[in-house]
């Protein structure tokens, strides 16, 4: 068996164990702090100037994450999370990155105390199960046979989703319009389930 030889570029370091995990968490927290202030209706815009001098002003988490030149491997994972969320859902990129960052920030003290990562992962899995059980407990069953109640529920959902948009002052009018359009869809031609 030959000895292991590592070749590292100048300026890189080889780190392992607890110190590397803490370094990864710190890098991810830096990314989260960069986009945290863009969240919500009172979120601030970011001015980003790239290496070629191109200027972009945005408060969209996906846009900001794409424009950030992230080189740290663990922090790149957050960028990948944002891209996946944008590709699959089209919204919620900032929320997903902030949530992931908060999970990492909350487990940092446990890593510093020497708790094994498998124990932390097991705790997250148990917390996920408890959260899903609670959500199922709180879930509201929809009776599609009662048309008035069904329509009222759809209007409330539509109005809630318009609360932070430019049209929030006329959300009652637009929520009725959206529900009218949805109710006109032919369920036999669309796989709405």
The structure's pTM equals 0.70
Mean per-residue pLDDT over the chain, rounded: 84
CA distances (Å), origin 42, targets 38, 45, 109, 164? 8, 10, 31, 9
pLDDT digits (tens, 9 = 90+) for 122-174: 999 999 999 999 999 999 888 888 888 888 888 888 888 777 656 778 888 88
d(CA 154, CA 147): 10
User: What pLDDT is attached to residue 67?
Assistant: 83
pLDDT digits over 100-127, tens only?
999 999 999 999 999 998 999 999 999 9
Query: Mean pLDDT, to the nearest integer, of 66-86?
Result: 87
Distance CA 120, CA 21 (A): 13
The pLDDT of 22-47, averaged and rounded, is 87
Length of the chain measured in residues: 193
In the numeric block, the tokens 């529920």 are attached to 153
């Amino acid at each position: 068996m030959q000895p292991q030889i590592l070749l590292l570029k100048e300026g890189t370091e080889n780190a392992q164990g607890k110190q590397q995990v803490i370094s990864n968490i710190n890098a991810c927290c830096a990314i989260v702090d960069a986009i945290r202030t863009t969240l919500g209706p009172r979120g601030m815009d970011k001015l980003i100037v790239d290496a070629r001098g191109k200027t972009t002003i945005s408060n969209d988490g996906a846009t900001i994450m794409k424009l950030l030149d992230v080189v740290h491997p663990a922090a790149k994972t957050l960028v990948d999370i944002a891209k996946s969320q944008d590709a699959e859902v089209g919204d919620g990129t900032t929320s997903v990155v902030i949530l992931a960052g908060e999970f990492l920030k909350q487990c940092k003290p446990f890593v510093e105390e020497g708790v094994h990562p498998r124990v932390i992962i097991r705790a997250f899995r148990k917390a996920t199960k408890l959260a899903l059980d609670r959500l199922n407990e709180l879930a509201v069953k929809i009776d599609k046979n009662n048309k008035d109640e069904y329509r009222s529920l759809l209007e409330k959902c539509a109005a809630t989703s318009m609360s932070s948009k430019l049209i929030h002052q006329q959300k009652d009018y637009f929520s009725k319009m959206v529900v009218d359009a949805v109710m006109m869809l032919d369920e036999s031609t669309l796989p709405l389930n």
